[in-house]
Amino acid sequence: MPKDDVTIPEVDPLSLDLTQRVADLEAIYAANPHRHEMVMLTAITHLDPSRHFIVGFKDVREEEFWVRGHMPGFPLLPGVLMCEAAAQLSGYYGTNQGVTGGRLMGLGGIENAKFKRMVRPGDRLVLVGHGLKVDRRLMRFHVRGYVGAELAFETVVTGVPLKTGG
């Protein structure tokens, strides 16, 4: 899937210890500007800068803003919100590792998004990200999302620095 000349290792999501926390919600707030209903991460559980590798998850709750309308009686986490979670995971990595130089990274692109499994309230969406290009001018991460052992989605997200303040 990735265009970049990087081999993405397969990760068995069931082998990941999700009980250990590298970052809880408070630490995610310190790194990412998202608030309220737009927070798409619950915790970060692994961070390996030597491999540009990061793992986090989103606990999908029954009271989320989209549940009532997408789709009534059979709520499904919208694919665009899965991609947003992937972007937030990548953004956390860039900020936490000092890659962004204090600049806010914005979503510059989503490529090759594929949705393989439904994600519903009560599920834990585990996000596994590998940096393809990690630079202050551009970050590209290949992110896979799993529910249990099943691949729910994958995409490549691109982050670009935003001009802020007018």
The per-residue DSSP string of 29-49 comes to HHH----GGG---SEEEEEET
CA nearest 128: which of 51, 26, 37? 51
Among all residues, which ones are annotated catalytic?
Answer: 70
30: left (phi over 0), alpha (psi -120 to 50) or beta: alpha
- CB of 41 closer than 8 Å to CB of 24: no
Output the CA–CA distances (angstroms, integers) from residue 82 to 20, 56, 113, in the order listed: 22, 12, 10
In the chain, % helix, strand, coil (3-state, to 5) comes to 20, 35, 45
- Angstrom distance (rounded) from CA 126 to CA 2: 20
